[in-house]
Amino acid sequence: MQHPFDTAIALEPAGQDRFFGRTSPAYANMVGPFGGTTTAVLLNAALRHPQRQGDPIALTVNFASPVADGDFEIEAVPVRTNRSTQHWSLQLRQGAAVAASATAVFALRRETWSAREAVMPPDMPAAAALARAPFQALPTWAQRYDMRFTEEDALLQFDGQEHAHSYSRMWVRDEPPRPLDFAALAALCDCFLPRIFYRRHRPAPVGTVSLTSYFHADASLLAAQGEHHLLGVARAQTFRNGYFDQSAEVWGQDGQLLATTHQMVYFRE
């Protein structure tokens, strides 16, 4: 049986640079599908394109409107292919309207000097020592992730008490478990709860307008993660006049930084 994530990002070739897809009820959000699956299916069009070269290193998705439940078309154009990099322009359309536009950079990597600078939080209890967060009250997509928080990091209640920061950590993996790959990691980069919830401890209408993820892992490092939980750490930088940004890191086994991800989020009061 196909994993629900693979159903959500499935594409059917539809001529040169074109694919057909369809939203998946298993990843439904409040309105339309989870942005993470929209992100992943856009990336998947480049991953499955016959002219693909290398693996993704950077992906930006701009969410132009809610995606309506149902069919969509993706145009994936390799606008430039160099010796070691490939640049993509991607659009998800429903009828004549662009619902999401994106760019991606793929690269052929070589082994070089490497070094870590950001540090994995050293004091997070093991995933096995924490309970899975009960997300029955959240939209369906949140059930597709096994997220585990310490009491300190959990968003326990909307008591309206404004907090001094929005930093939080969680263990996260696909539910049911699924071996990690670029599409799954791209989706997971969008699964951090909106930082304004952590900051204000009250609900607010929010929507990601632009999401950028950088993939530091190559395919073999992703494969080495298997179905293990990954450690996600997120924080905001500033909230101002209807928009805030948030940045996150996704850590794998042995303290490897798999991805860094940033987004600009719309909010209403």
Question: Measured from the CB atom, is 105 or 130 closer to a copy of itself?
Answer: 105
> Which of 10, 38, 246, 265 has the alpha carbon at shortest distance from 141?
38
Query: Counting contacts by CB under 8 A, is residue 219 touching a copy of itself?
Result: no
Name the residue type at position 66. Answer: P
| Residue 130 sits in the site that holds a copy of itself (CB under 8 A) | no
Angle at 130 between CA 126 and CA 134, to 5 degrees: 140
User: Binding a copy of itself by CB under 8 A: which of 3, 18, 87, 178?
Assistant: 87
Single out the residue of 69, 67, 71, 84 nearest to residue 208, CA to CA.
Answer: 67
Q: Does 65 bind a copy of itself (CB under 8 A)?
A: yes
| Residue 147 identity | M
How many residues bind a copy of itself (CB under 8 A)? The answer is 64
User: Under DSSP, is residue 113 helix (H, G, I), strand (E, B) or coil?
Assistant: coil
212: contact with a copy of itself by CB under 8 A: yes
Q: Which of 19, 145, 149, 267 binds a copy of itself (CB under 8 A)?
A: 267
How far lies 267's CA from each of 59, 205, 244, 253, in Å?
23, 6, 8, 34
Both tokens of 132, joined, read 């899975």
> Of 134 and 160, which has the nearer Cβ to a copy of itself?
160
Q: Taking a C-beta distance cutoff of 8 angstroms, is the pair 36, 30 a contact?
A: no
Contact mark string toward a copy of itself, 237..266, x via CB under 8 A: xxxxxxx-x-x-x-------x--x-x-x-x
DSSP state of 97: E
End-to-end, the C-alpha distance of the chain in Å comes to 43
The smaller minimum CB distance to a copy of itself, of residues 151 and 162, is found at 162
Residue in 112, 136, 157, 161 binding a copy of itself, rule: CB under 8 A: 112
Question: Site residues (CB under 8 A) for a copy of itself?
Answer: 57-58, 60, 62, 64-65, 79-80, 82, 84-85, 87, 89, 91, 97-98, 101-103, 105, 107, 109-118, 162, 165-166, 195, 199-200, 209-210, 212, 214, 216-218, 235-243, 245, 247, 249, 257, 260, 262, 264, 266-269
